[in-house]
Structures are given as structure tokens and as C-alpha cells.
Amino acid sequence: MTTNSSSIDDRWFYALVAVGVLLNATGLFPPIMELDGALYACIAKQMAQTNDFVNLYAVGSDWLDKPHFPFWVIALSYKVFGINTFGYKFPALLFFLGSVVYTYKFARLTYPKVVAQLAALVLLTAFHGVLSNSDVRAEPYLMPLIIGAVYHFYRVFLGDRDDSNATSQRYGVSQGWLHLAIGSFLTGCALMTKGVFVLIPIGGGLVIHWLLTGQWRELLKPRWYVAVVLSFVFTLPEIYCLYQQFDIHPEKVVFGQRGVSGVRFFFWDSQFGRFFNTGPIKGEGDKFFFVHTLLWAFLPWSLPLYIGIGKVLRDLVKHQPASDPSPSIEYVSLGSGLLTFLLFSFSGFQLPHYMNIVFPFFALLTAQFLVSLAPATLRKWTIGQTAISLAIVGLSIALLLFVQPENVVGAVVLVIVTTLAIFTLFRQNTLLSLSGRMVGAMLILAGTLNLFLYPTFLRYQAGMAGAQYVNGDAKLAKRPTVLYEPGTGVGGGSFWSYEFYVRSPTVYARSDSSLMIQLQSGSRQVFTSGADADSLASRGFQVKHLAVFPYYHVSQLTYEFLNPATRSQTLEPYVLAEVGPKKE
């Protein structure tokens, strides 16, 4: 590929990487966010406490939705760091950073060093990747497993470039087979994290690359079928666990019916059922959802991403390769990114964080485009991207002044000082300045969200506040808590954050009859919504309020909640109460 930019000086590159790591690490500080994060934290908490790494339970019942791998990792982290916010989030951050390393290494197989450097910085600063290191779900675990598997399989395809002899021996096996085994292992872990659709971003890009470069005979080579078999061999622990928990227990009621196969759910309903909207978990798909979602989710790099993809597609249509690297043209990033984008766009179930898994490929496409620009054009892009960074800084200040968190004056001063430092260090319109300004802008945004705004918002997770209240009261802390949540399924609300953060045992009561069983030995300490507490009292239960906690669903922010003047109007009460049986 012909470029007009030399590599970024290593000292500057490593300094920017360090800042990128820091801005993602700010996500370790806010508490775990409801809903999904708190649910996953509770599932892993029970796994760690019971040492049962086979069965997954949520709300006191068998849970069949996500595979086991992230919960195994989190439970082991709890064993090391304790059952706390850090123990839940830290392994996800490490996995995310692993995806940055693999993105750099994959880029270096084909592109100049500067492309790899910029791709790593893009991935470190893409907004939804940063957000996912605060609101942790499965995606930070998937990212390195997918790009890592692609890297190792691509190494198999290219041959060993570290040696002139591709069959050189290390550890007693050829490099090609070693990379094949590692790639298959990572694929197996990815399957045990999200399901069979991970094969699309892992294998789809390689297939597209072979087809576009006329190397379709690669599909006939036995080694790739060996890789498929090995990948499913490494998935056997997941299949075993699902079989043990569900398939040999047809009497269990799951999704409101008996005889549910966990293995079938893993291979079909959890992925294809959502895609075709025929499974037990349904959604409403919008074919243009990810088109507009990426505009904000991949900030501040969304515009060069879109233009870069368009340029590659245009060159393909004109039969002009978008690049001329050695030893071959690379279309894996384009294939993996676009196939996954189209797959999710036509799915019946869509959420913004789904696209995070192909951010490494998007980062490489973005870097490839920016590095290929002529110097005059790069200066124009630098000015345009600088305008975006200033908009991010302005948004951060506006949010701070509007929400009015604690230390708002200090926060605004910190933002202004950091902005001045950024533009003092990076004054020229070069690729280094472009990178430095974007990293600096995202440091400001991440710090604003994770150090000032989210700590303010998350006070309104009533379950967490209730758990902290109980933990701080010596008398209450000695008693188990009944979580009264009428209904079926995993529920919602603010019960999961209570279950995670409270140090004493909890048990769920999903109906009046199950609550009555808990009250047979006398009154119990109960945490429930204000409406359900009033309902219990109206039906004759003895209810004595011990404390009331305001609640808001903080992952769905509104203007009224953000505004301190109207925030109280958006809140609902949750109650910690002493509940006794009905009066005779």
C-alpha cells in the first residue's frame, strides 16, 4: 500500500496507548450497571460461591440464555480479587486490551507499521468499546477471541513469516499447526461466549478474501476442516454443561415449557431463533439500525470508517485493489466487518453493543483509509476530525453543567486544562496530531462519564443503595433478605444489584405463596418495589418500612432524569421492609 505517512514515533505511540488504556480503565470505577451487567455479575457470584461451574442460575432458577465462558472467567476473577465491582470488570478490560494487541499484530501481517499503530489507537478510543468497559457484558470477551482466531488462521494461510521455512519446528510442532490449534481454541472459546454466529466474523472474512483474490481453492484444503472440528472439540465443555443442566432433566420448566434442550438452544434457538425471531427470546429488527448506530457508537472515527469502506468497495467495483501490500491484498477486514454488519442488520434482535465484536476490523479499515491519504487531504481530515473532538469536549462540559454532579467546577476545570494540553502538544495537522487529539477527546469523554456522571446516575440503582444500607447496619447485615419480585422469568428492576452488592444471603419469592413459605418461621427482611410493598400491605401482610430508596433505570437516560430540577419526578421507590405473615 502506498502511503504518505511514516510510522508514528514509538515514544508517542506508546504514550498514546497508555492514555488509551487509562481512559478505558476509568470504567473500572463506576458500580456495575443494571440490567444485564448486574444479572451477569450475580450469575458468576453464585458460581464462585458454590464452586458449581456447570449450572447457571438466575433469580433462584435455572438460566438458559448466554453460554458459560464469560461466567467462568468472572468467577475465577472473584476468587482472586473478591466479589466486587473490580473483580467483575477487570478481566473484561484485560480481554479488551488483548483485542488491541491482536489488532496490531494482524495489521502487521500485511500493512505498514503506521497502519497497525493507528488501528490500535482507533480501537482503544471507539466510543462503544470504551462504554463496554464500564457497562460490561459479553462483548469485551468476544473481541480478542474473534480477532485472535482470525490472526492465527491468517498466519496459517500466509505461512510462517518469521522463518523462511513455513514448516519450522517450535515446541515440537510446525508453526502452521500451532497457529491452527490456537485459532481453533480461541474459536471454541468464542462459541462458548456467544454461540455459533461467531463463525461468521471469524470465517466469513477469510472466505471473502479467498474469493476476491482468486484463491478459492483454499476452501478445499483439509486443514480448514480440521480447524472446524477442533473448534467444536474445544466447545465440548459448554455442550457438556448444557446437557447436564437441561437435556437430562426434561422435567425442568424453562421458557414456560418442559423438555427444553440446552444443547439445541445453544446451536439453534439462541442465535438462529433470534435472527429469524422464532426463538423464545424475541425482538423487533430495523434493517437500518446499525447504519445510524455506528455513527455514534464508533465515534470519533465513524466518518473515516464509512468513507474508508466506501473507497474499498468503489475500488472493488472498478477492479482496482484498494491497496497493494506485501505479500497479498487483505480483504479479511472488509469481509468480516460487512458480513457481520449485514447479518445483524437483518436480524430480528438488535442491540447497539452487538457490533463491538467487529470493531477491530473497522479500526483497521479506518486506519488503512487515513494512512493512504495524500498530505493535503490528510490535513483537511485532521481539521474535520478536530471539529468532532471539540464537539465531544463541548458535549462533556455541557453535560457536566446540566447534570451538576459533585465537584462539577473541578470537573469542568479539568476538562478545560486537558483540552488546552492536548492542543498544545498536538499543534500540527499531521497523523500524529490527529491521533493525539482523538485520544485526548475520548479521555475527556470517558473521564466525564465514568468519574463524574455515572457515579451520580448510579446512586439511583435502588438495589445497590439498599445493599449498602444493609451492609452498614450490623443488625440488618446478619439477616438474609427475601427479594419479593412477583412474576416469572428473570424479571428486572433493581433486584440484581441488591443481590450482588449485599454481603448477606438472599432468596427470591416470586409469588405470595412462596413468600408465605419464607414467613412460616416469622417475619423476614424483604426488599421489593414500593408498589409491591403497598400491595402486600393491602392484602393483609404485616409490612413495616425500614428504609426507602429512589430508583431509576439508569441505562435509559431521559432529559427529565438528567435535569436535577425534574429528576425527582422520574424516580420510583424501592423498600426495605420487615414483612410478617397475614393477620388471622
Q: Positive or negative CA dihedral for 62, 63, 64, 67?
A: negative
Residue 581, classified by CB atoms within 10 Å of its CB into exposed (0-12), middle (13-18) or buried (19+), is middle
Q: Tens digits of per-residue pLDDT, 418-436? A: 999 999 999 888 899 999 9
Contacts of 321 (CB under 8 A, 6+ apart): 315, 329
C-alpha cell at 38: 448486574
Does one domain contain both 347 and 270? yes
The residue ranking higher by pLDDT, 181 or 35, is 181
Does one domain contain both 119 and 199? yes
Q: Rg for the chain (alpha carbons), in Å?
A: 26
Does one domain contain both 485 and 356? no
Does one domain contain both 354 and 381? no
Q: Tens digits of per-residue pLDDT, 293-309? A: 889 999 999 999 999 99
Last residue of a domain, one of 426, 459, 492: 459
- Residue 243 resides in a domain: yes
Q: What is the pLDDT of residue 390?
A: 96
Q: What is the mean pLDDT of the chain?
A: 90
Does one domain contain both 252 and 367? yes
Whether the Cβ atoms of residue 379 and residue 321 lie closer than 8 Å to each other: no
H-helix or E-strand containing 257?
A: strand 257-258
- Would you place residue 120 in the very low, low, confident or very high pLDDT band (cuts 50, 70, 90)? very high
H-helix segments, 474-564: 474-477, 495-501, 512-518, 530-538, 559-562
- Chain centre distance of CA 87: 16
Q: Tens digits of per-residue pLDDT, 359-377? A: 999 999 999 999 999 999 9
C-alpha cell at 542: 404485616
Q: What is the pLDDT of residue 350?
A: 65
Lowest mean pLDDT among 103-107, 143-147, 157-161, 387-391: 157-161
User: Is it the case that residue 325 has pLDDT exceeding 60?
Assistant: no
Does one domain contain both 195 and 129? yes
- Would you place residue 583 in the very low, low, confident or very high pLDDT band (cuts 50, 70, 90)? confident
* Number of domains forming the structure of the chain: 3
- Would you place residue 168 in the very low, low, confident or very high pLDDT band (cuts 50, 70, 90)? very low
Q: Tens digits of per-residue pLDDT, 79-111? A: 999 999 999 999 999 999 999 999 999 999 999
Q: What are the Cα distances from residue 495, in Å, to 82, 525, 534?
A: 21, 14, 17
Q: How far apart are CA 192 and CA 72, in angstroms?
A: 10
Q: Among 131-140, 275-284, 328-337, name the most confident range.
A: 131-140
- Would you place residue 167 in the very low, low, confident or very high pLDDT band (cuts 50, 70, 90)? very low
The residue ranking higher by pLDDT, 278 or 101, is 101
Residue 22, classified by CB atoms within 10 Å of its CB into exposed (0-12), middle (13-18) or buried (19+), is middle
Residue type, 123: L
User: Which residues lie across from 258 on neighbouring strands?
Assistant: 253
- Residue 24 resides in a domain: no
- Residue 50 resides in a domain: no
Q: What is the pLDDT of residue 7?
A: 73
Q: Positive or negative CA dihedral for 494, 500, 501, 507?
A: positive
Last residue of a domain, one of 436, 459, 482: 459
- Would you place residue 256 in the very low, low, confident or very high pLDDT band (cuts 50, 70, 90)? confident
Q: How far apart are CA 344 and CA 342, in angstroms?
A: 6
Q: Tens digits of per-residue pLDDT, 199-255? A: 999 999 999 999 998 888 999 999 999 999 999 999 999 999 999 999 999 888 888
Does one domain contain both 169 and 295? yes
Q: Tens digits of per-residue pLDDT, 3-56? A: 445 678 999 999 999 999 999 999 999 999 998 999 999 999 999 999 999 999
Q: What is the pLDDT of residue 548?
A: 97
- Residue 22 resides in a domain: no
Q: What is the pTM of this model?
A: 0.92
Does one domain contain both 569 and 433? no
Q: What is the pLDDT of residue 318?
A: 80
Mean pLDDT score, 557-575: 95
- Residue 168 resides in a domain: yes
Identify the domain containing residue 132 by its residue range.
64-371
Contacts of 535 (CB under 8 A, 6+ apart): none
Whether the Cβ atoms of residue 186 and residue 147 lie closer than 8 Å to each other: no
- Residue 351 resides in a domain: yes
User: Is it the case that residue 324 has pLDDT exceeding 60?
Assistant: no
- Residue 31 resides in a domain: no
Does one domain contain both 353 and 382? no
Q: What is the pLDDT of residue 6?
A: 63
Whether the Cβ atoms of residue 574 and residue 527 lie closer than 8 Å to each other: yes
Q: What is the pLDDT of residue 165?
A: 43
Q: What is the pLDDT of residue 175?
A: 81
Contacts of 472 (CB under 8 A, 6+ apart): none
Last residue of a domain, one of 309, 342, 371: 371
Does one domain contain both 439 and 560? no
Q: What is the pLDDT of residue 171?
A: 43
Pairing of strands 481-484, 524-529: parallel
CATH number at residue 488: 3.40.190
Q: What is the pLDDT of residue 323?
A: 44
Q: What is the pLDDT of residue 491?
A: 83
Q: What is the pLDDT of residue 293?
A: 87
Q: What is the pLDDT of residue 578?
A: 95
- Would you place residue 138 in the very low, low, confident or very high pLDDT band (cuts 50, 70, 90)? very high
Does one domain contain both 367 and 407? no
Mean pLDDT score, 517-544: 93
Q: What is the pLDDT of residue 274?
A: 61
- Residue 79 resides in a domain: yes
Lowest mean pLDDT among 39-53, 317-331, 558-572: 317-331
Contacts of 408 (CB under 8 A, 6+ apart): 400, 401, 452
Does one domain contain both 446 and 483? no
Q: What angle do CA 26, 28, 30 make, to 5 degrees?
A: 90
